[in-house]
Amino acid sequence: MNPVISNIIIIAILLIIVFFAVKGSIPHFKGEGSCCGGGSQKAVKPKKLSNVISTKVINIEGMTCEKCAMRVQNALNSIDGVSAKVSLRGKKATVKLGKDIPDTVLNKAITDLGYEILS
């Protein structure tokens, strides 16, 4: 077989592989992939607490997209007495507490999702 034809076939195969790899990665980079729930996920809105007894900031490592941040925020807001907002850019959760909740409960909600708490 002619070396030029062989090279053209190899280049064509590589271009096809790259095309499908990029096509499959685009949803992930938009935060629509399945890395952290994907699809449609509704945010649990932070609660309006009648009495805020303390505010904590939790630094979080491992969030890579808005879906990650939403998962963490939903997990925290599902705890009774917690109103949380999570910032992907700041890699942190600002948590308002309406009652005394141990740090271990808040940290477990985050680490159970696969993220790391930074000191």
Q: Note the pLDDT of residue 10.
A: 94
**Is the torsion defined by CA of 26, 32, 35, 38 positive or negative?**
negative
Q: Note the pLDDT of residue 41.
A: 66
Question: What does the pLDDT average to over 98-113?
Answer: 95
Topology adopted by domain 54-118: Alpha-Beta Plaits (3.30.70)
**Tens digit of each residue's pLDDT (9 = 90 or more) over 1-24:** 788 999 999 999 999 999 988 887
**Tens digit of each residue's pLDDT (9 = 90 or more) over 45-74:** 788 888 999 999 999 999 988 888 999 999
Residues 6+ apart with CB under 8 A from 48: 83
pTM here is: 0.67
Please name the amino acid found at residue 108. Answer: K
